[in-house]
Structure 1
Amino acid sequence: MSTNLLLEDKNAVLYGAGGAVDTACRLPTVRAQFPDVADRAAREQMSYRGFLAELLMAECDDRARRRSERRIRYAGFPRQKSLREFDFDANTNIDPAVISTLAKCDWIRKGMPLCLIGDSGTGKSHLLIALGTEAAMQGFRVKYILASKLVNELVEAADDRQLSKTIARYGRVDLICLDELGYMELDKRGAELLFQVLTEREEKASVAITSNESFSSWPKTFTDPRLCAAIVDRLTFGGNILETGTDSYRLTHTRSQR
């Protein structure tokens, strides 16, 4: 039987047996793309094997895309940012080669930390979200959260006697993107709870943070000197530290527009 004869009755297959296959095997892309792939197979005189491979590859690619989208939604990024959008020419403190290496996510596989330190408007959050998005696209479970929000969540969990469950929940993700650490002073209890999360993940799962304060100024955020030293130790040991500088891209861009 020729390929053309096989494909002549594609509509019957699509809405009959094809519908049953979709329902039983959950192959929505196979059903959706069957007409186009079948038509192309007829025009190009594909073999049966080539036609089937084309159809199943489309299903696999679409499944991978949907999984990536689910992981990105789960991460809870406040906005979309990509590495392609980052203006390396506007901030010469950032080495594109270093960011390219980080985008491969080997540091996440090793459970290493990442610190982005610099003034407001220098691209810290952009890089944090973009690298987190890359990680999600490569199959890692990622969670983005503001440092102040995480501390508040931990305090509420402790008050409700749910702290262990909350820390365990954050312990199950491969990468926590902790934004804006250092923008507000943390009391001793909040700092201790955050320390527990970092200790739970130490050398097992990654934490990436942004801060507008250099490490020498962190005692303003963590007022207990010993606790501050311990937190800095856990966020820097074996990890990457990138300084994004002091010149605000947003301010420079606004001035140039004017």
Structure 2
Amino acid sequence: MEQACRDLRLPTVRTRFEDMLTVAHKEQLTYEGFLADLLLAECDDRARRRSIRRVKAAGFPRQKWLADFDFDANPNVNPATINSLASCVWVRKGEPLCLIGDSGTGKSHLLIGLGTAAAEAGFRVRYTLATKLVNELVEAADEKMLVKTIARYGRVDLLCVDELGYIELDKRGAELLFQVLTEREEKNSVAIASNQSFSGWTRTFTDPRLCAAIVDRLTFGGAIIETGTDSYRLAQTRAAAQAAS
């Protein structure tokens, strides 16, 4: 029995067989009922393992869950909007998402949380920092691997780009980033988090036409969530300091 389960790659059946058999005897299940429960347990466990692998493959720097987001601390963020996005309909449609706000307002938390929800729902997700992505594209271009690299980023269902706008990008880097966005346009979703309002993106993308084109790619048909300017992380730190004093 054990070796057969190993050969057939049925780890859940192998480890849970005895316990589920005992339950089946107590509940007087039919052979068909016992077999159905055993196979369903295997299927459920496989789905759970696939979900874990997809979340790990996304490359998130830390775990963030939407359920842990403090909506009371940031009233700028509408819970109904986030719950709607958590359904991942926008990912299925290939629509973009922009999270705009100052540091400490929950942009990265929401970006990672929504990316995690998408991965758990079965979508292929990739997380990266904007500067890391641009550096990778520049290196790929230098090594004549740009087409392959852009295609790789084009295949994921959701590309999460964090910290867009923190550092000025030169024209070459901005143009390469634009190529990635163009590859994904109206096919696969892009979600970005930025500490700059769109009017301030000219400091990141110094070419006005390119800046306008990138904004267009990231906003057309998508959702824009403004997380505000008041850092609730700073507020929590101050509150903790006052409580300790």
- TM normalised by structure 2 equals 0.97
Correspondence for 1:64 among 27, 32, 47: 47
Distance 1:95 1:21 in 2: 52
Corresponding residue for 1:50? Answer: 33
Distance 1:214 1:145 in 2: 20
Corresponding residue for 2:176? Answer: 193
Corresponding residue for 1:90? Answer: 73
Distance 1:19 1:111 in 2: 44
Counterpart AA for 1:202: E
Structure 1 regions of 5+ residues with no counterpart? Answer: 1-17
Corresponding residue for 2:152? Answer: 169
Partner SS, residue 126 of structure 1: helix
Bigger radius of gyration: 1
Partner SS, residue 180 of structure 1: strand
Corresponding residue for 1:145? Answer: 128
- Post-superposition shift, 1:23? 2.7
Q: Any runs of at least 4 consecutive aligned residues in structure 1 with deviations exceeding 3 A, and if so which?
A: none
Corresponding residue for 1:106? Answer: 89
Correspondence for 1:33 among 16, 31, 34: 16
Corresponding residue for 1:207? Answer: 190
Matched, 1:248 2:234: no
- Post-superposition shift, 1:20? 3.3
Matched, 1:19 2:2: yes
Corresponding residue for 2:57? Answer: 74
Correspondence for 1:226 among 206, 209, 214: 209
Matched, 1:238 2:221: yes
Distance 1:44 1:246 in 2: 58
Cα pair 2:124 2:158 within 8 Å, conserved = yes
Distance 2:24 2:89 in 1: 40
- TM normalised by structure 1 equals 0.93
Distance 1:240 1:152 in 2: 27
For these two proteins, the number of residue pairs brought into alignment is: 241
Counterpart AA for 2:123: F
- Post-superposition shift, 1:100? 0.4
- Post-superposition shift, 1:249? 1.0
Cα pair 2:6 2:14 within 8 Å, conserved = no
Corresponding residue for 1:154? Answer: 137
Correspondence for 2:199 among 189, 198, 216: 216
Distance 1:205 1:105 in 2: 12
Deviations 1:35-81 (A, max 9, x none): 10001111111111111111111100100000000000100000000
Partner SS, residue 128 of structure 2: strand
Partner SS, residue 196 of structure 1: helix
Counterpart AA for 1:139: G
Superposition RMSD in Å: 0.6
Distance 1:25 1:227 in 2: 54
Cα pair 2:94 2:189 within 8 Å, conserved = yes
